[in-house]
Structure 1
Amino acid sequence: MGNNGNWEGDDDENEEEELEHLRSYFLSKELASSAKRSKHKLIDINVVDEQELREAASQIRPKHENEVNTLMDSYKTIYPEWLLALRCGFGLLMYGFGSKKALIEDFASTALTEYSVVVVNGYLQTINLKQVVMALAEVLWDQVKTKQADRKRKGWASYGDLPKSQQPFNSQSMEDLLTFLDQVGIEDGDFFVCIVIHNIDGPGLRDTETQQYLARLAACAHIRMVASIDHVNASLFWDKNMAHTQFNWCWFHVPTFAPYKVEGMFYPLILAHGSANQFVKTATIVLLSLTRNAQSVFKVLAEHQLCHPEEGMPINDLYSVCRERFLVSSLVTLNAHLTEFKDHELVKIKRNPDGQDCLHIPLTAEALQKVMLDIN
């Protein structure tokens, strides 16, 4: 028993010694990394002008052109399958690496010649969804009237009187337009209008309300949807009912390896100088993530700078105004807000002509007014 006790004691000592070695190892690594940590910031990088970078990027010749063309041609053999899926009431969702814009437009121009097609460029920053729905309603209305006239000319039974109250569409609400698209009286099951959406996961379509409207649109009786996605989390936009019942997606993996030339034109380049609009957008996003009081403190500083563009605002003056407006209770609270502003580079220290250190927002008056308008 005594020997066993000694062995157990030795094991405990060895374990503590090993843990101490591990602590020393990680502590030395942490100290070494902190000593080597660079003080440079991303904004200190001397990046090139955006226009210059775009021109240089446009000169890059794509590789493996023959293989890419062969791959694109192979998808044309699947066009009949895609068309059959649309006729059966499914929506087509294309995914895979590379721009799918040319592929989808080729499918629409060759396989959907019997149908009307409305194209939506979802990669644009802003999209007026109601204008899209109005365009679909007008196309469908014209098609219905044409079919009605053909049936009357041939002496066939008509669909019944067309509801004149449906026009003009520009005076109808979104609900009325969707109701018309879903309930217009056409017995022909193979009659539909196709809507093509390049990047249904684009920045102008990502909000929940827009996706719900698109799902309801896809579920309309005489609407068929063909869309593409590129964002890795795009499927999280839709719940089970939206994906399997309303959109009724048929997923097709169609990597094209084609460059995102058109889609990429509307995104700022990472290695290029950010534009003023991009800086305003970034500042707005940061401010909206802060508390109401922090936003109010920033507004006080912004108001002073707009009235005195050549002067910064002393911290004591800012503290006095904020105390009067009950925005802060102590200088410690104000310093906490200012630290957050400085960390995000929304505020910098500027020395006035009298030698006093003052607070300054590194934005032009126009950009600052835009930020104020956005956060209000």
Structure 2
Amino acid sequence: MEANDVDDEDFQFSRSYFLAKELGGYGKKSTCKLSDIDLVDEQELREAAANIQPKHESETAALMDSYKSFYLDWGFELRCGFGLLMYGFGSKKALLEDFASTALTECGVLVINGYLPSINLKQVMIALADLLWDQLKTQRRIPLGTSSKVQQPFNSRSMDDLLAFLDGPQVEGDECFICVVIHNIDGPGLRDSDTQQYLARISACSHIRVVASIDHVNAPLLWDKTMVHTQFNWWWHHVPTFAPYKVEGIFYPLILAHGGTTQTVKTASIVLQSLTPNAQSVFKVLAEHQLAHPDEEGMPVNTLYTICRERFLVSSQVTLNSHLTEFKDHELVKMRRHSDGQDCLYIPLSTEALEKLVLEISQ
């Protein structure tokens, strides 16, 4: 084929292309919309996903059994002061709990479910202090000269005091420590910087050992060099299990579903359960007012304070503000300006969802 013939062929192709664009209405907009996508209810989609038959069960079970041969090594690494960080595809919840119940029977174990939307770190530290105190008393290894101020109740102690107790004086003989099992240390309830800093400080305490799992590919970005090598002192273990994330996945929204009322109530209920009983009662006062006055823009802060004060739920405006800050941080409550200029509180839930939530927290 000659060069002229090639040029003519290219020209004809180009001319045909642009003619087709012109005749086809180049600039014509698509009529498709996101709202046209038929999304199913989230609860219905989760039920369908739960009925999917698992595959390769025997191979997965054999893989899990193979990790049991490492239990002695993992226990030795913990006694040497390392923290164990498990990574790899698949849920590691069953693996970590089996390791704790099999190889860590001689020490106290506390489990933190990092996949929950919200976690009260102060309550975690109080539980750790209670476990350590009971273990020291049981083994009669409380250091001489221990101040009575260190003793229970720990719920009145500050975070720094609790850390000081967990990092208290070494006892003679074998080491006495509490093991903290953290499922998804990179989970939504533990992902913020302040929480990770506190977890690192807890891990660095002399009486604490940590076994944790990660699943997000960017999880290591949560820590700096000091946290990784000094405080957490991670010993990394690649332990893919290929197990489904059945429990962890409950708290994540599904892309192909719209959020149903049931899921919204469940999420809000889990968050409220992590708060104090007084905080729950304050939230209930606000919820009942919103249900009784659906046409109002919200509940004035002063009105909420007066009712809570009469019911002995708060002792001062400062106490109420601390509860409200907790609600706002978890997006349970929002604030807007009333038409008369005063600030009002409202719960961003539908009436149906709010009624179900009130029933949940009243049980």
Deviation of 1:81 after TM superposition, in Å, equals 1.2
Counterpart CA distance in 2 for 1:85 and 1:273 is 45
> Which amino acid in 1 is paired with 2:113?
N
Over 3 Å counting, the alpha-carbon distance change for 1:242 and 1:183 in structure 2 is same
Match of 1:119 among 111, 132, 140: 111
Match of 2:32 among 28, 39, 62: 39
- Equivalence for 2:233: 248
> Which amino acid in 1 is paired with 2:75?
L
Structure 2 unaligned runs (5+)?
Answer: 1-13, 268-293, 298-347, 355-363
Aligned to 1:183, the other structure's residue is in SS state coil
Provide Cα deviations, 1:84-122, integer angstroms capped at 9, x if missing partner: 110100000001110000000010111111111001111
Structure 1 unaligned runs (5+)?
Answer: 1-20, 152-157, 282-304, 309-362, 370-376
TM-score by length of 1: 0.63
Counterpart CA distance in 2 for 1:245 and 1:220 is 11
Provide Cα deviations, 1:178-198, integer angstroms capped at 9, x if missing partner: 011002442345321100000
Match of 1:222 among 207, 221, 230: 207
1:59 matched to 2:51: yes
- Equivalence for 2:190: 205
Matches within 5 A, 1:340-351: none
- Equivalence for 1:140: 132
TM-score by length of 2: 0.65
Aligned to 1:261, the other structure's residue is in SS state coil
Over 3 Å counting, the alpha-carbon distance change for 1:307 and 1:165 in structure 2 is closer
Counterpart CA distance in 2 for 1:219 and 1:162 is 21
Deviation of 1:233 after TM superposition, in Å, equals 0.8
- Equivalence for 1:165: 149
Q: Percent identity?
A: 62
CA contact (8 A) 2:143 2:169 kept: no
Deviation of 1:165 after TM superposition, in Å, equals 0.4
Computed over aligned residues only, the root mean square deviation of the Cα atoms, in angstroms, reads: 3.3
1:261 matched to 2:265: no
CA contact (8 A) 2:43 2:260 kept: no
Matches within 5 A, 1:274-285: 274-275=259-260
> Which amino acid in 2 is paired with 1:125?
P
Structure 1 runs (4+) greater than 3 angstroms displaced: 31-39, 275-278, 305-308, 363-367
1:50 matched to 2:34: no
- Equivalence for 1:195: 180
Aligned to 2:63, the other structure's residue is in SS state helix
Deviation of 1:270 after TM superposition, in Å, equals 1.5
CA contact (8 A) 1:116 1:139 kept: yes
Matches within 5 A, 1:352-363: none
> Which amino acid in 2 is paired with 1:201?
D
Q: Which has the larger radius of gyration?
A: 1
> Which amino acid in 1 is paired with 2:256?
L
CA contact (8 A) 1:306 1:365 kept: no
CA contact (8 A) 2:85 2:213 kept: yes
Over 3 Å counting, the alpha-carbon distance change for 1:222 and 1:273 in structure 2 is same
Over 3 Å counting, the alpha-carbon distance change for 1:32 and 1:57 in structure 2 is farther
- Equivalence for 1:180: 165
Deviation of 1:139 after TM superposition, in Å, equals 0.7
Deviation of 1:38 after TM superposition, in Å, equals 5.0
Counterpart CA distance in 2 for 1:193 and 1:206 is 23
Provide Cα deviations, 1:25-63, integer angstroms capped at 9, x if missing partner: 9xx79x98864645311x331111122111111111111
